[in-house]
């Protein structure tokens, strides 16, 4: 009787362990939705802005910005997944070292990556790496300081480049998880504008500044698995 009782208890404990582990699973077919704070911190490098009358104004500088980040993942297998990063529009100040803030721009940077999750389907802690493609669209570009009418017609070209990420999920139960991730995105854009100079700014030069934004992107979020 004691052996039967012991065996029954052992089987029950084993089943409970399996159920508990499965409750934390990242497994094939799971849909994961995450929402949280995401920071875009540009690591910019640009050509110098050289003018015919004011000389070299230095490189363009781009500020960081924090927005609501959203990402959507789908587990293709227990270890392989795809993920789409989205967010509310980011807004950045554009400055010149010798002048200060001269413009503002907004952008949306949807990024699609293929991911590999380490560990197994029953692990609560799942670190991962990912690589994919970034598409960045700039809009609402405007000068806030036109240097006395010298700067007009600002535009930034769309960028398509590679992206990479590292991160982890920590599952509290079968549905809820905590996520943290770091991204790097290859974002390059041509900053174009007209520069007016001479008497009454009557002469115009079309200017193109090749700019690498190449931001680091940091995200902390809460996720839900379906």
The share of the chain scoring above pLDDT 70, in percent, equals 89
Q: Can you tell me the distance from the alpha carbon of 155 to that of 49, in angstroms, rounded to the nearest whole number?
A: 15
Which H/E stretch holds residue 69?
Answer: strand 65-75
Architecture (CATH level 2) of domain 2-225: Beta Barrel (2.40)
- 19-23, 169-173, 209-213: lowest mean pLDDT where? 19-23
pLDDT, residue 128, reads 98
Written as six digits, the tokens of 55 are: 């000389």
90-109 tens-digit pLDDT? 999 999 987 999 999 999 99
- 1-10, 44-53, 212-221: lowest mean pLDDT where? 1-10
Instruction: Outline where DSSP puts E strands in 76-145.
Output: 80-87, 90-96, 100-108, 111-117, 125-143
Q: Can you tell me the distance from the alpha carbon of 91 to that of 96, in angstroms, rounded to the nearest whole number?
A: 17
pLDDT, residue 97, reads 83
Q: Determine the average pLDDT of the residues in 186-195.
A: 97
Q: Which residue has the tokens 């493609």?
A: 133
CB atoms within 10 A of CB 127: 14
Q: Which residue has the tokens 């806030």?
A: 144
Q: How confident is the model at residue 24 (pLDDT cuts 50, 70, 90)?
A: low
Written as six digits, the tokens of 56 are: 């070299």
Cβ atoms of 59 and 211 closer than 8 Å: no
**Residue 2: pLDDT over 70:** no
**Residue 113: pLDDT over 80:** yes
Domain segments of the chain as ranges: 2-225
Q: Can you tell me the distance from the alpha carbon of 49 to that of 19, in angstroms, rounded to the nearest whole number?
A: 63
127-137 tens-digit pLDDT? 999 999 999 99
**Residue 41: pLDDT over 70:** yes
Q: How confident is the model at residue 13 (pLDDT cuts 50, 70, 90)?
A: very low
pLDDT, residue 182, reads 97
Q: Determine the average pLDDT of the residues in 54-78.
A: 95
Q: Can you tell me the distance from the alpha carbon of 73 to that of 221, in angstroms, rounded to the nearest whole number?
A: 13
Q: How confident is the model at residue 5 (pLDDT cuts 50, 70, 90)?
A: low
Q: Determine the average pLDDT of the residues in 113-125.
A: 95
């Amino acid at each position: 009787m004691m052996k039967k009782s012991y065996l029954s208890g052992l089987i029950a404990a084993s089943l409970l362990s399996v159920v508990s582990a499965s409750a934390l699973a990242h497994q094939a077919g799971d849909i994961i939705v995450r929402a949280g704070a995401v920071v875009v911190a540009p690591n910019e490098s640009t050509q110098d802005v050289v003018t015919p009358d004011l000389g070299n104004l230095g490189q363009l500088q781009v500020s960081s910005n924090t927005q609501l980040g959203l990402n959507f993942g789908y587990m293709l297998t227990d270890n392989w997944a795809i993920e789409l990063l989205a967010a509310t529009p980011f807004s950045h100040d554009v400055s010149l070292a010798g002048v200060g803030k001269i413009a503002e721009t907004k952008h949306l940077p949807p990024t699609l990556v293929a991911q590999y999750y380490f560990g197994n389907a029953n692990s609560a802690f799942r670190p991962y790496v990912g690589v994919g493609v970034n598409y960045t669209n700039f809009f609402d570009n405007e000068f806030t300081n036109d240097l006395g009418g010298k700067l007009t017609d600002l535009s930034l070209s769309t960028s398509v480049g590679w992206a990479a990420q590292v991160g982890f999920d920590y599952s509290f139960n079968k549905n809820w998880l905590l996520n943290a991730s770091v991204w790097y995105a290859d974002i390059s854009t041509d900053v174009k504008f007209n520069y007016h100079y001479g008497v009454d700014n009557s002469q115009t030069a079309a200017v193109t500044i090749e700019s690498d934004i190449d931001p680091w992107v940091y995200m902390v979020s809460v996720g839900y698995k379906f």
